[in-house]
């Protein structure tokens, strides 16, 4: 019996092997198709030639959806790239890229610039500046210091461009302070018969015992003499001129001479003016004889001599002396307040005279505080200044104690001529001055001065 024939085997056409390039194209298309379908909400992509679960091949519509998905994918990538670029610009705007400027912290002053304040006044000594931007530094010297130059990358003018990281600095040199004002001692030899009054609290003689003071070099000094009762001032002596006006160019020792005042002497006339002796007469009563007038005899007629015995030939008695006129009452001793006013008034005159010199050192000697630099700045444009007090001082307050103080107001006229030319400018000013002293042996000096023009 013949063997049964086997089932016929159907051999289909062999599937061509895809090249590597075809595989890559297939994979990219599948990915884009998958992305497009997900965006569109379509079906899951199938491989070409694959059958569905029902055994049917992929529909032509599914195969045609590949280019549309690729376009959607490319759009998504472009949006993502734009978003990344925008984020980069925002980051650069918020945190700009740049180069670092570093300041070497100086002593004696402060360096300031864009985002910089570094030195004795602050400690912000570094900052980031956009690359390529120019910078310019400035300096603020401390008191008694002066800027002498920039150092590092900003030398010599304090300017540079931030093409790379920079390090800059500055030097500040200390300037010598004003030399201490030289002083000379004024010594008064204590007089008899009066008191000498002078600047620096000197009150030496009958009314006081402060007989020396140290006064600034060049300061004007005026001595005043106050005679005691029964005395009169004659002159000043020693190193001071007879008028008492001088300047303290060296140490000086001065005095004064007081002489007793001339007063009538209660005595009879001098021998040359004695009365003539009367001649006896036979008359029962003597005849009085008038005294012989002389050049030195008093103008008031002397009384007629009498004859106490009432008999002829008796010797007349000595006439009564001319009554004396009492002296004027002596002036009261000077008070502490009056003495203080005299010294402050002299200080006002000295201040006005010192302004006329346009020398800050001379004016500085009349102040407690150092204002020489301020005066130099004020006078640098002046060619000349004439100053005249126009009204006597008026005192708002006055404390005449040893460590006293006062506030005084007075008028002052100034004629200022500028170096730039033009007619002198006339100023009518009202000056308010606050003065004080440390003790009787210290001079009155100025604490502060306020000047304003008088209203017209």
Is-contact 65 32, C-beta < 8 A?
Answer: no
Q: What is the DSSP string of 442-454?
A: S--EEEEEEEEEP
pLDDT on residue 108: 94
pLDDT on residue 101: 94
- Per-residue pLDDT band for 173 (boundaries 50, 70, 90) equals very high
Q: What is the mean pLDDT of residues 84-98?
A: 75
pLDDT tens-digit series, residues 339-388: 889 889 999 999 999 998 998 988 988 998 888 888 888 888 898 899 99
- Per-residue pLDDT band for 329 (boundaries 50, 70, 90) equals low
Q: Which single residue is written with the structure tokens 């140290």?
A: 214
d(CA 139, CA 172): 9
Q: Both tokens of residue 331?
A: 């002036």
Cis peptide before 396 (omega within 30 of 0): no
- Shortest CA distance to 274 belongs to which of 308, 315, 314, 310? 315
> What CATH architecture is 344-456?
Roll (3.10)
d(CA 108, CA 212): 42
- Per-residue pLDDT band for 31 (boundaries 50, 70, 90) equals low
Top-ranked range on mean pLDDT: pick from 103-107, 289-293, 328-332? 103-107
pLDDT tens-digit series, residues 106-135: 999 999 999 999 999 899 999 999 999 999
């Amino acid at each position: 019996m013949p063997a049964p024939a086997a089932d016929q085997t159907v051999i289909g056409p062999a599937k061509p092997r895809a090249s590597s390039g075809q595989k890559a194209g297939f994979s990219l298309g599948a990915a884009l198709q998958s992305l497009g379908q997900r965006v569109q909400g379509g079906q899951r992509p199938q491989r070409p030639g694959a059958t569905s679960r029902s055994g049917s091949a992929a529909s032509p519509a599914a195969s045609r959806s590949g280019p549309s998905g690729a376009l959607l994918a490319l759009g998504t990538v472009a949006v993502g790239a734009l978003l990344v670029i925008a984020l980069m610009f925002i980051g650069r705007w918020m945190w700009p890229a740049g180069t670092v400027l570093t300041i070497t912290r100086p002593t004696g002053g402060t360096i300031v610039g864009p985002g910089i304040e570094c030195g004795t006044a602050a400690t912000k000594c570094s900052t980031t500046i956009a690359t390529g931007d120019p910078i310019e530094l400035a300096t603020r010297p401390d008191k008694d210091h002066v800027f002498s130059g920039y150092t590092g990358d900003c030398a010599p003018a304090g300017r540079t461009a931030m093409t790379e990281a920079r390090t800059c600095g500055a030097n500040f040199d200390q300037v010598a302070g004003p030399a201490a004002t030289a002083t000379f001692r004024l010594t008064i030899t204590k007089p008899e018969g009066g008191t000498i009054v002078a600047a620096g609290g000197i009150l030496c003689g009958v009314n006081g015992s402060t007989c020396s003071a140290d006064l600034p070099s060049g300061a004007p000094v005026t001595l005043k003499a106050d005679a005691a009762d029964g005395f009169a001032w004659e002159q000043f002596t020693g190193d001071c001129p007879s008028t008492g006006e001088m300047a303290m160019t060296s140490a000086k020792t001065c005095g004064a001479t007081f002489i007793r005042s001339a007063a009538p002497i209660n005595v009879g006339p001098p021998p040359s003016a004695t009365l003539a002796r009367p001649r006896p007469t036979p008359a029962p009563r003597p005849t009085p004889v008038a005294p012989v007038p002389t050049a030195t005899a008093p103008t008031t007629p002397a009384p007629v001599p009498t004859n106490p015995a009432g008999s002829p030939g008796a010797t007349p008695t000595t006439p009564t002396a001319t009554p004396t006129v009492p002296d004027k009452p002596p002036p009261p001793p000077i008070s502490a307040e009056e003495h203080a006013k005299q010294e402050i008034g002299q200080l006002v005159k000295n201040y006005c005279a010192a302004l006329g010199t346009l020398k800050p050192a001379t004016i500085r000697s009349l102040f407690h505080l150092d204002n020489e630099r301020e005066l130099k700045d004020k006078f640098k444009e002046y060619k000349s200044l004439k100053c005249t007090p126009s009204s006597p001082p008026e005192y708002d307050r006055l404390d005449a104690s040893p460590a006293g103080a006062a506030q005084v107001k007075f008028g002052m006229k100034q004629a200022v001529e500028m170096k730039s030319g033009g007619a002198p400018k006339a100023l009518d000013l009202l000056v308010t001055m606050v003065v004080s002293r440390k003790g009787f042996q210290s001079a009155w000096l100025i604490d502060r001065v306020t000047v304003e023009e008088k209203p017209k």
